[in-house]
Amino acid sequence: MKHIALLLALAVSSLHAEDWKPEAGFTSLFNGKDLTGWCFRAKTDKKDPNAGDITEKHDGKTEAADAGRYIVKDGVIAVTFPTEMDKLTGQLYTQAEFPKEFILKLEFRASVNADSGVFIRKPQLQCRDYLVAGPYKQLKKYKPQEWNQIVVEVKNGFAHATCNGEDLELAIPLPPTGPIGLEGDRGVMEYRHIQIKEVP
């Protein structure tokens, strides 16, 4: 079957994937089964009035409509690079947008030198195999090729991001609203336990 060899190589444990639940007060952005609630959007271009508009929804699908760059398997969104496609940067977004202040939590696991990103209302936080690919090579708590947690707190138009409790960015300036997104640029990146809590 398509992509089976690659998925087996990811070595994702599925024993407890179905047991995970968001923390109290949080809402899951990823149901662990498919890409319901996720979509493709028109590329951002300030001159294009349709930039950011939803172009394709992936509700009920376990594979995005881009030759399998985004695949759902065992409670994980795996960002991959099928050999049959041009390896250009890909972006997957939530259909929902988030104008309120919020706390976003997610876990990621990066292959060696993997390069990905998390979009916060569109601006991007680099999510990589940090100690190899940077830019945060000074991290002490990052665990190479293991699961790591990113927490993003959005307040007063800025985002403060941490990885395993260590600062990544202190104040990323944000637009008034926008979706959450994931990027695929290089290597294999896995995401799970994506949850958000809006702050009144």
Query: What total of structural domains would you count in the chain?
Result: 1
> Per mean pLDDT, which range of 39-48, 64-73, 80-89, 150-159 is the poorest?
80-89
User: Residue 42: which CATH number?
Assistant: 2.60.120.560
Q: Shortest CA distance to 84 belongs to which of 66, 71, 58?
A: 66
What is the per-residue pLDDT across 100-120, written as a single tens digit (0 to 9) for each?
999 999 999 999 999 999 999
Q: Using pLDDT thresholds of 50, 70 and 90, give the confidence band for residue 50.
A: low
pTM of the model: 0.86
How far is residue 146's CA from residue 165's CA, in Å, rounded to a whole number? 16
Q: Which domain holds residue 77?
A: 4-199
* pLDDT, mean of residues 171-200: 94
Q: Using pLDDT thresholds of 50, 70 and 90, give the confidence band for residue 68.
A: confident
